[in-house]
Amino acid sequence: MAELRQNLATREWVIIARERARRPNAYVESSDRLRTHERAEHDPTCPFCPGNEELDLERAREPAGPDWQTRIVRNKYPALAEQGLLTRSFNGVERSITGVGYHEVLVEHPFHNTTLALMTDEEIRAVLLMYLRRGKEIAADPRVEQIVFFKNHGERAGASLLHTHSQVIGLPIVPGNIRHRIEEARRFFDDTGQCVFCTMLADELRRRERLVAVNEHFAAFVLYASSSPFHIWILPRQHHASFLHVAEAEVMHLAPLLRDVLFRLYAHLNDPDFNLLIRSTPTKEPENGYFHWYIAIVPRLSRSAGFELGSGVWINPTLPEECAAFLRGDISATE
């Protein structure tokens, strides 16, 4: 029989539908697919490849030296504008705010045929330090309330350019989505005196069956209440509400773990499309004991439909425990 599981932190329910049971190896992408490492190292038409910076001069956020390792450009079709006054309007029904904020692209590597899963620890550190630095700069703008870092890898994940990149959006509002998570976390803290994420993390480390990778400072596990197959959270083991407060020394430890997790997805599922995002507190909120920043990785292996839209409940046909075992290599791809 199927089972409904609740995420302790978000209180969102999922249906783990064993009747539809798909084994983890059912998600391995076709070998016909051109994987990232099989592409050419340089694409003359790609605006993110070295030598092509001039193709898109007006987009450059800051000048890139000839030997750049990472760089920041403005999104060509920005959802929000850097220049402009934040003004609010409300007529009793319609509430709006001018679309001021930031929408930038973080180019992660000069090569066209790489991705985080294939980079060295040093290269991933450079990417994470760029996230941190640019995040702090954007957070200093008083119009910004929330920063969202995200990565779309592959077309099904919404990427329009193949060259490895992330995006950062600085919003003039706190999304309801984040507010709800903070309220639930505060409620758990009120009841127990504990951070709900620390509680979940301790349980995963004890239990181990859903762990994918762990080191001294970070742990990655498939969620008990995964909304889709291989839905993974990476949590810092030291409590911090905001990603922007991570010490650079901690970033050193995040890089190898992130590479490990993404390489497992790349190798075991044959370079699947995925979204990666960082959840963190609103920029103006102080550090606190109840919220805990984290990275979520969501491979795009299933599709939402009317039921998910109507209920927010996802139907996941694959056991999270089996997905974790598969990524650890405990279940072979041909089993």
| Residue 289: partners with Cβ closer than 8 Å, 6 or more residues away | 189, 195, 239
Residue 106, beta-bridge partner list: 72, 166
- Nearer to a second copy among residue 56 and residue 203 (C-beta): 203
Under rule CB under 8 A, residue 3 binds a second copy: yes
Which one of 60, 205, 252, 277 is in contact with a second copy (CB under 8 A)? 277
Contacts 24+ apart (CB under 8 A), 146-150: 146/170, 146/171, 146/173, 146/174, 146/175, 146/178, 146/282, 146/283, 147/171, 147/244, 147/280, 147/283, 148/277, 148/278, 149/243, 149/277, 149/278, 150/275, 150/276, 150/277, 150/278
Which one of 19, 38, 190, 191 is in contact with a second copy (CB under 8 A)? 19
Q: Which stretch binds a second copy (CB under 8 A): 51-59, 72-80, 115-123, 248-256?
A: 72-80
Which one of 25, 52, 69, 167 is in contact with a second copy (CB under 8 A)? 167
Per the listing, tokens 């550090």 go with: 287
- Nearer to a second copy among residue 205 and residue 252 (C-beta): 205
Count residues near a second copy (CB under 8 A).
72
Under rule CB under 8 A, residue 178 binds a second copy: yes
Which one of 67, 193, 306, 332 is in contact with a second copy (CB under 8 A)? 306
Q: Which stretch binds a second copy (CB under 8 A): 14-22, 52-60, 108-116, 134-142?
A: 14-22
Q: Which stretch binds a second copy (CB under 8 A): 40-48, 108-116, 214-222, 276-284?
A: 276-284
Under rule CB under 8 A, residue 278 binds a second copy: yes
- Nearer to a second copy among residue 18 and residue 33 (C-beta): 18
| Residue 174: partners with Cβ closer than 8 Å, 6 or more residues away | 145, 146, 282
Site for a second copy in 134-153 (CB under 8 A): 146, 148-152
Under rule CB under 8 A, residue 242 binds a second copy: no
Amino acid symbol at 159: A
Site for a second copy in 86-125 (CB under 8 A): 92-100
Catalytic center residues: 165
Longest Cα–Cα distance in the chain: 61
Site for a second copy in 307-326 (CB under 8 A): 307, 309-313, 315
Backbone angles phi, psi at 139, to 5 degrees: -65, -20
| Residue 306: partners with Cβ closer than 8 Å, 6 or more residues away | none
Confirm if 118 and 263 have CB atoms less than 8 A apart: yes
- Nearer to a second copy among residue 8 and residue 129 (C-beta): 8
Amino acid symbol at 84: G
Q: Which stretch binds a second copy (CB under 8 A): 40-48, 113-121, 197-205, 252-260?
A: 197-205
Whole-angstrom distance, CA of residue 229 vs CA of residue 249: 32
- Nearer to a second copy among residue 33 and residue 180 (C-beta): 180
Under rule CB under 8 A, residue 305 binds a second copy: yes
Q: Cα–Cα–Cα angle for 261, 264, 269, nearest 5°?
A: 130
